[in-house]
Every structure is written in C-alpha cells, then in structure tokens.
Structure 1
Amino acid sequence: MSAAVEDLLRFGPAILLAVTVAWLALATRRTSREIGGRAFGFGSGLRQRSARLLFVASIGGAAAALVSHAVGNAPAIFAPLAGEAFLVRLAGLALAVGGQVLTLVAQGNMGRRWRVGVPRTAPDALVTTGLFGLSRNPVFLGMLAMAAGLAVAVPSPAVVACALAFWIACEVQVRDEERFLERSFGPSYAAYRSAVRRWI
C-alpha cells in the first residue's frame, strides 16, 4: 500500500466526519435564522431523549475513535481490527464519501424546511421533490451509508459500535418524525408515504 493511500485511510475518515458535522451544524444555524426560530430540537419524551443520547454518543464516540486512529495512538478499542484488506477499507471510505454527498444534497433539497429532531411546529410545507421523491429519508439514508462506510474503512470495535448505535437512533427518529408529519400534514403526508418508500 502506498504512503498516499495509507494517509488517506488514516486521516480521511476523521476529516470526512468533521466536515459533515460542521456542514449540518451550519445548515441548522442558517435555517434557524431564516425561520426566526429553532430548527434544532428533540421532544421531551423518553424515545426522543434516547434518540438524542444515541446520536450524540455515536457521533462523539466515532469522532474520538477516528481522531485517535488518525494520530496513531489508538487504544485497542479504537484501533482497527487486523487483517482487513486495504481495498476493502478504501471501498468503505468511498461508501462514506457517497453517503456524505447524499446527506448534503438531500439537506440542500430541504432548504428552509430542514429540521433536526421533532420540532414544536411543522415546516410550512412537506418536501416531496428531488431526492425526497425517491426516498422519504434521504438525509438519514446518506448518514447511515456514511456510518457503515466509516465502520468498514476503520473497522475498530468502537466505530462499529457507534455505527450500530447511530442506526438504532435513526430508526427511532424516523418513526417519531413520521408520526409528527402525519399529524401535521394529514392526507397529503399519507399520500406521500404510500407513494415513496421509507428508505429506498
């Protein structure tokens, strides 16, 4: 394996995660300004608190593991398991990049209707075009692809566990958001749900 590929597999995953988190944080802040309110907010129920905790723990844990791997001082739980071929790890990184692109493009499709969590009030319209015409959850789909790709690119116990925790959080969040959208948009959401799959 060349030094360039080794550096890509060493630093790329941490940079990819950092860029994605920063982009989504800026998008949430920008949307909050545009709507004159908070675009970020999880409900107070146990399911929402659990989802938020899982999101924070999985992203924070993955960041710690990826940075530890990048600086080359990873404890065993953060270190990649031995024996995975570098081509498989490169394929994982490519999947993570594809997931990142899907996430950012789908977030862009939402525009001012972008929200994180289940908001107190619904956006002014339901987004059903662009990538949302192919999947009801392209942002989550992209993030899940990214999590899976990172777990393949840096197959440490910590990154794999974080990817699984992130998947569980997404499953909880998607179902809570579906109930919220059904209450908020009624028949129009029911028609959209029957026409477009939850994932792909």
Structure 2
Amino acid sequence: MATAALIIYLVWAALAFGLRSWVQWRRTGDAGFRGSGLRPGSMQWWVRLLFTSAMVIGAAGPIAALAGLAPIDVLDRPVVQVAGAVLALGGVAATLAAQTSMGASWRIGVDEAERTALVTTGAFALARNPIFTAMMATATGLTAMVPNPVSLFGLLLTVLAIQLQVRVVEEPYLQRVHGDAYARYAAAVGRFLPGLGHLRSPLRHRPHHTPAPADEPPSVSDMSADR
C-alpha cells in the first residue's frame, strides 16, 4: 500500500498544482500563485510554511513506510487501507473538479490588493471551500493507506494549515472585498461541508421607538461563526 499511496500522492500533487497552474497560465497568462513576497512572521507567511511542511511530510509518510517504519497497530487493517485508497482517489478527483469550478478565479494564496469574482456555483454551491475539503479528504485517505506516525503528523499539519488559511486569511479577505455578497453566500453555504460552518450576519436591531429612516438600507453586522 505504501507504493500505491506514494503514486497517488505524486499524481495528486502534479495534477492539482503543476497541471492546474499550467492550465491557468495558458488560459489567462497568470499561473495563479500569490504571496511570493509575504512578510516573514505574517499570518499568510506562517500558513504558507505550514502548507509546505505538510506537503513534504505527506510524501514522507509513504517513503518512511517503504523504508521500514511500522504502522500504528490499531489502524493497520486491510479494510482501513482499502477505504483509504478509495477516499484518496475520490479526493484527487474532487480536487480537480472543484478547481475547474473556480475557473479564472483560481488562486493559490491571497493578494490583498486583488479583486476576483466571487464564485458561488458548481462545487462552490455545496461548500465555500470545496478544494480544501477535497484536499483534506485526500490527505485522510493517504494516511489511512499508510497509517504511521509520519503520515498522521502530516495529516495534522494539513488540517491545521487549511483551517488557518480559511478562517484567518481567506474569510476576512473575502468579507472585505465582497461585503454583503459574501455575507449572504456565507450565511447560506457551509464552510467545508453542506449545512456546516455557516457565517451568520444578523441585521442590527433598532429600538421600537426609533424607526429607521425610509431611505436607509439595512446594514450587515459583524459576522460570527455558528457553533
């Protein structure tokens, strides 16, 4: 299983990052990478470091297994490995499909000065971050195929990096850039899975004795995540 996991991982990385960047460049003249000049110590810088570490360790898990690192006994079951392979392959396909749904707005990283279209169709009608959902599914499947301590650590880093990227970097950026449009979208569509992780944007309540002027539009309050 270690060899199969390594092959799936390498194919996934080549398609999701290499091929997708090439397609983006051919279509738009822009490979889609952002954040090359990140300020050391900034949140994006830390998240990028976590992502890079997770990618390296993701490959190191199968390699360590091939080198003789023993799996964790409780997870070392054929049914777990087969289920992991199915999940990993499904995650690869879902990653590519979600990237396609994003079209010309696909990016790796965030440029605070850039404004791209808010994508809410295709896979993004089901979840606000379907690419990251698919990435976590792929990483989970690969870990189940090769359930050793290195793979588990890589999965932990992957989930941590994605959570920070979405919650601390991307959601505040999208709120600033798209305002009410993103507020309505985030209130209706889950963060990673349908129905889970909506952002609420309740209207501010006014005292009954002080009616709002007839020409004053409703305002969206600060958004807070559902529990």
Q: Shorter-normalised TM-score: what interval?
A: 0.7 to 0.9
Q: 1:99 aligns with which of 91, 94, 97?
A: 91
**Could you tell me the percent identity over the aligned residues?**
38
Q: 2:67 aligns with which of 69, 73, 79?
A: 73
Alignment of 1:1-200 (within 5 A): 9-25=1-17, 26-37=19-30, 39-42=32-35, 43-44=38-39, 46-69=42-65, 72-74=66-68, 76=69, 79-82=70-73, 84-119=76-111, 120-123=113-116, 125-175=117-167, 176-200=169-193
Unaligned runs of 5+ in 1: 1-8
Is the contact made by 2:60 and 2:150 (CA closer than 8 Å) also made in structure 1?
no
Q: Which residue does the alignment assign to 2:217?
A: none
Is the contact made by 2:60 and 2:151 (CA closer than 8 Å) also made in structure 1?
no
- Deviation of 1:33 (Å): 4.7
Q: How many residues align?
A: 186
Q: CA RMSD, aligned part only?
A: 1.7
> 2:190, 2:55 → 1: CA distance?
26
TM-score by length of 1: 0.86
> 1:31, 1:187 → 2: CA distance?
28
Structure with the higher helix share, 1 or 2: 1
- Deviation of 1:121 (Å): 0.7
> 1:38, 1:180 → 2: CA distance?
21
Flag the structure with larger Rg.
2
> 2:114, 2:25 → 1: CA distance?
13
1:191 counterpart letter in structure 2: R
Is the contact made by 2:143 and 2:152 (CA closer than 8 Å) also made in structure 1?
yes
TM-score by length of 2: 0.76
Q: Which residue does the alignment assign to 1:3?
A: none
- Deviation of 1:21 (Å): 1.0
1:199 counterpart letter in structure 2: F
